[in-house]
A and B are shown apart, each in its own frame.
Chain A
């Protein structure tokens, strides 16, 4: 009964947005063009064109420090077969993968507590608190972790007080993950909180009334209905960690380099624009693949069958 009413409500609201927009008699295309053209132009010049140009540049050449139009695949072969690139690629994948797993594993229980254990007011406060770091001062927060974790920093000063250390906290995989989780956790928790708040509580209560223990409710009711949200959390975390420049730079001193670090270094050293572009384009291709994998996984088994039909 509950499940049925949930689906009708969902489909009703979906139908709402598919309703043919009322076309009024005699309306012309002037207004939409007036609104749309500036947007399209702006995004074309400052977003799409640069990215397309990036792909074009991968086939160009640098002669005596000047970028010249050409059509060579040399940049591609040099970068894709270079050991530096391949090492950085594997390293970046491992780092971003680790961040993704950690972010989802930490964010899920936290989001669960916020969505189902906090009162309405506390929940709003928690959401407000989490939104702030998504849009503010990431670089500064990484710098703050440097202060906290550095050999003479706060943590080691505290540990020294009780006779431990100094521990080499900064400059390794640990500090890198601290940095990347600083970047990813707030948004990961937010996505999951919003998704969980969207689950009909009566569904959960119904399951509990049917004698489901809390753990089973989570496994059989909450996780399946959160599948798309979990996939979104994972792909978002991966995307952020994969492309990040600041954490590798400040938390590990760029050693070993990630792909982002490699891009900036390649541009800086000898204006190797085409090669930096190759790295950039390869990263975008890989991100696109990861995103489509996430899409595929989020649909679940039934969704995939439907899509196949």
Chain B
């Protein structure tokens, strides 16, 4: 057999395989969006025709409106707090050496690795005993405990590119360590802070098990969807789903825009070098 033909066939097979994988990942997202505009009560083929009926219906549903509002509050609070805590954790890991460093880093990094079912149950059991059950703030606090891990990771990655001399240079020029943190490290980390903000918001906006466990009557949007899904077939689900999908994809895309992480290359470090 011709060598180049074999190469070409093998390339074709590789691209085809990748295409199938991407289709597998994209299909569910497309299905949600497409069928949210379907007039049928039950989503199937043939399509029941274009309709905005269900989108309108979710606007009229007070529970969904409340849930959406709750999600925004929790998401915003999580974004702010976990970015602040994530920055503190990343900076400590970057700057200081101390004996309990590994436990410290693990304490921040590990939470997303614990299955949400177990973590949700544990948080519910513990937090209800100290009187924090059933509050929106509690949902946010728990989301922060998880999202800080991602914030720390993003910001730590950025700090790797902070030229080793930049902070000492600031001290040398009269900046106290705190002033150097504010005037040098923070501005340097700005893209990562923005990325962390949006990614934490996305993590919170997407989380449903812990919110379900500790939120009590305060439902976030994904919890509302979970409850709807466990009930009867409800055509509103596609419409809410489409909204949630668009919001969370937008948040992740904005976050990505600011991470500057690329496969194979790191963003260029300090141009002063």
- Classify A-B as touching or not with yes or no (CB < 8 A): yes
CA distance A39 to B206 in the complex (A): 23
Hey, what's the 0/1 contact readout for B4-35 against A, CB within 8 Å counting as 1?
00000001001101100110110111011001
Contacts of B92 in A (CB 8 A): 32, 35-36, 39
CA distance A197 to B262 in the complex (A): 9
Q: B35, B110, B119: which has the most chain A beta carbons within 10 Å?
A: B119
A131 within 8 Å of B (CB atoms): yes
CA distance A276 to B116 in the complex (A): 14
CA distance A242 to B252 in the complex (A): 25
Asked, given contacts A16-B164, A132-B253, whether A35 binds B88 with beta carbons under 8 Å apart, the answer is: yes
Identity of the chain B residue whose Cβ is nearest the Cβ of A260 in the assembled complex: B117
CA distance A143 to B244 in the complex (A): 13
Distance in angstroms from A52 CB to nearest chain B CB is: 8
Contacts of B168 in A (CB 8 A): 22, 24
B144 within 8 Å of A (CB atoms): yes
Distance in angstroms from A160 CB to nearest chain B CB is: 9
Asked if residues B88 and A50 are in contact (CB atoms below 8 Å), the reply is no
Interfacial residues of chain B within 73-95, with CB under 8 A of chain A in the complex: 85, 88-89, 91-92, 95
B122 within 8 Å of A (CB atoms): yes
A42 within 8 Å of B (CB atoms): yes
Q: Which residues of A are at the interface with B, using a C-beta cutoff of 8 A?
A: 16-17, 19-22, 24, 27, 31-32, 35-36, 38-40, 42-51, 53-54, 57, 67, 106, 109-110, 112-115, 117, 120, 123-124, 126-145, 147-148, 152-154, 157-158, 181-182, 185-186, 189, 193-194, 197-198, 239, 242-245, 250, 260, 263-264, 267, 273, 276-277, 280, 283-284, 287
Asked, given contacts A42-B144, A114-B18, whether A132 binds B252 with beta carbons under 8 Å apart, the answer is: yes
CA distance A162 to B208 in the complex (A): 39
Contacts of B110 in A (CB 8 A): 47
User: Which residue in B17, B31, B107, B115 is a CB contact (below 8 Å) of A283?
Assistant: B115
CA distance A266 to B56 in the complex (A): 38
Distance in angstroms from A231 CB to nearest chain B CB is: 15
Asked if residues A243 and B171 are in contact (CB atoms below 8 Å), the reply is no
Identity of the chain A residue whose Cβ is nearest the Cβ of B21 in the assembled complex: A110
Identity of the chain B residue whose Cβ is nearest the Cβ of A115 in the assembled complex: B263
Distance in angstroms from B147 CB to nearest chain A CB is: 10
Other than the given A36-B104, A57-B125, A114-B18, 8 more pairs (CB < 8 A) read A21-B95, A39-B88, A50-B126, A110-B17, A115-B264, A136-B206, A153-B44, A273-B125
Identity of the chain A residue whose Cβ is nearest the Cβ of B259 in the assembled complex: A131
Distance in angstroms from B140 CB to nearest chain A CB is: 10
Distance in angstroms from A191 CB to nearest chain B CB is: 11
CA distance A35 to B155 in the complex (A): 15
User: Which residue in A39, A142, A250 is a CB contact (below 8 Å) of B89?
Assistant: A39
Distance in angstroms from A48 CB to nearest chain B CB is: 6
CA distance A45 to B199 in the complex (A): 23
CA distance A194 to B263 in the complex (A): 5
Interfacial residues of chain B within 32-71, with CB under 8 A of chain A in the complex: 32, 35, 42-46
Asked, given contacts A39-B148, A124-B262, whether A145 binds B115 with beta carbons under 8 Å apart, the answer is: no
Asked if residues B122 and A280 are in contact (CB atoms below 8 Å), the reply is yes
CA distance A181 to B108 in the complex (A): 27
Distance in angstroms from A174 CB to nearest chain B CB is: 13
Identity of the chain A residue whose Cβ is nearest the Cβ of B203 in the assembled complex: A135
CA distance A170 to B106 in the complex (A): 39
CA distance A31 to B178 in the complex (A): 7
Contacts of A47 in B (CB 8 A): 107, 110-111, 119, 145-146
Asked if residues A127 and B244 are in contact (CB atoms below 8 Å), the reply is no
Asked, given contacts A32-B96, A135-B252, whether A144 binds B29 with beta carbons under 8 Å apart, the answer is: yes
CA distance A194 to B21 in the complex (A): 18
CA distance A131 to B24 in the complex (A): 15
Can you list 22 pairs linking A and B with CB atoms under 8 Å apart?
A16-B164, A19-B164, A24-B168, A35-B91, A36-B89, A36-B104, A39-B108, A43-B145, A45-B141, A47-B110, A51-B119, A53-B129, A117-B15, A124-B263, A136-B245, A138-B206, A139-B225, A140-B32, A152-B44, A185-B21, A264-B117, A277-B121
Asked if residues A137 and B125 are in contact (CB atoms below 8 Å), the reply is no
Interfacial residues of chain B within 111-156, with CB under 8 A of chain A in the complex: 111, 113-119, 121-123, 125-127, 129, 141-142, 144-146, 148
Contacts of B249 in A (CB 8 A): 132, 136-137
CA distance A124 to B181 in the complex (A): 32
User: Which residue in B122, B146, B229, B265 is a CB contact (below 8 Å) of A53?
Assistant: B122
Asked, given contacts A21-B95, A24-B168, A136-B202, whether A50 binds B35 with beta carbons under 8 Å apart, the answer is: no
Asked if residues A280 and B121 are in contact (CB atoms below 8 Å), the reply is yes
Give the 8 A-B CB pairs with smallest separation, nearest first: A243-B115, A144-B28, A197-B264, A136-B248, A141-B28, A50-B122, A46-B145, A157-B45
Distance in angstroms from B217 CB to nearest chain A CB is: 17
User: Which residue in A109, A123, A197, A243 is a CB contact (below 8 Å) of B117?
Assistant: A243
Asked, given contacts A16-B164, A31-B178, whether A137 binds B29 with beta carbons under 8 Å apart, the answer is: yes
CA distance A158 to B229 in the complex (A): 24
Distance in angstroms from A84 CB to nearest chain B CB is: 17
Contacts of B264 in A (CB 8 A): 115, 120, 123, 197-198
